[in-house]
Amino acid sequence: MSNLATALVEAAERHPHRPAVCGEGSTLTYAELDEFSARAAGGMRAHGVGPGFRVGLRLPYGPVYAVLFFGALRAGAIVVPLYPRGPRHDARAQDDACGAKLVFAAPDANAARVAWTGDTTLVQAGPDFLDQVAFWPQHFEVTARTDRDAAVVIGTEGGTAAARGMTLSHRTLRDAAWTTRTLMAESVTDDSDGDGDGDRDGRAAYGLHAVVLSGACLPGGRGQAVTTRRPHAFP
């Protein structure tokens, strides 16, 4: 099986209690990240996401981003990291989504005013988002993918057509993760422009896997507190 999400499952088996990802006020162990990603995958599949579907992430790096990233891969989907240029960016949602069936985004008044049309569904990930994910159905299996299957499509909003169409396969990401695992701190947390979006050229994707392959802890931005409360349904 070539699905990169397998790396998380194996890491959770080796050191379940080791911190995997942290953010302000929240830390997930490898076992917790594994379980949350399984529930994220279950929620996505219940909403019609399957192998080859695109899932957009317009979120800061932290526990929620990691959970949804691995959850999408676990479901066999393609992750589309979305990085808005700024608060005045007013592109239509269909262009912003880069073909994603679901887009998970931090609550934002501007995003809420955009007319999300077609097959794209916006899911806002607020401060209690992981509380909600804890009630989603679990999908522990990792969907089989080949080395050549797409894992990530770079979706920088407002960028060139070439940049927005950059596709990284499972093999490409795996090879890059092994090569750069000792540099993953710079790869994941580089945010020199101060906008909270981190690296824009795809290095965060294989940096995230470098964290898992090395058994380290991913430092995040604005984290989410995890206290299971009430269930949540997709809109």
Confirm or reject CATH 3.40.1310.30 for domain 5-219, answering yes or no: no
Q: Are the C-beta atoms of residues 156 and 163 closer than 8 Å to each other?
A: yes
Angle between helices 63-74 and 30-46 (to 10 degrees): 60
CA distance 97 to 155: 8
CA distance 94 to 181: 35
Q: Label the pairing between strands 54-58 and 78-81.
A: parallel
Identify the three-state secondary structure at position 54: strand
DSSP 71-107: HHHHTT-EEEEB----TT----HHHHTTT-SEEEE--
Residue 40 has which token pair? 């994220």
- Per-residue pLDDT tens digits of the chain, which is 235 residues long: 589 899 899 999 999 999 988 886 789 999 999 999 999 999 999 999 999 999 999 888 889 999 999 999 999 999 998 865 444 444 444 445 678 889 998 887 555 545 455 578 889 898 899 999 999 999 999 999 999 999 999 855 444 444 456 888 998 888 877 776 655 444 444 433 333 333 433 445 556 767 777 777 777 654 343 333 333 344 3
Please give the pLDDT value at position 158: 47
